[in-house]
Amino acid sequence: MKIKTFTYALSAAFGLIGPAFFLRNINLSDWGMLLVELGFALWLVSPFVLIAMAVRSDRFSAIGALIATILAGLFGAWFYTELTFHFTTKSDAQDAIAMLFVAAYQHAIIVLTLSLFSFFGWLQTRRK
């Protein structure tokens, strides 16, 4: 399987974890908040849209995008699972709000990983 195709598939799988757990934790009976909640769900998918855009462009390493997907995806999956089922923490009223910050951390992980791989790629091409 090609690295780019595998990265797309892994990105799609990890991208669905956040909104699924977020929609599980919120109250969907209030129709007035539906657009806001859908916006939040899109925000939780956005790190993996960033990965897909990086894979599509040839400026970034496919291996770097794959590693960024794995790091951000595993971090997000662990954090979303912990906030939903509370294996080591106590339940809190702000669990759904805490889930919104996971996407910001995932963005940071992705940008730092892709920047690191781009920098090392640039150094390798400069050596030649």
What tens digit of pLDDT does each residue of 12-56 get?
A: 999 999 888 888 777 677 777 788 888 888 999 999 999 999 999
Least Cα distance to 27 among 111, 125, 93, 101 occurs for: 93
Residue with the bigger pLDDT between 2 and 24: it is 2
Structure tokens at 39: 């916006």
pLDDT of 69: 95
Q: What is the mean pLDDT of the chain?
A: 88
- The three state secondary structure string of 82-99 is HHHHCCCCCCCCCHHHHH
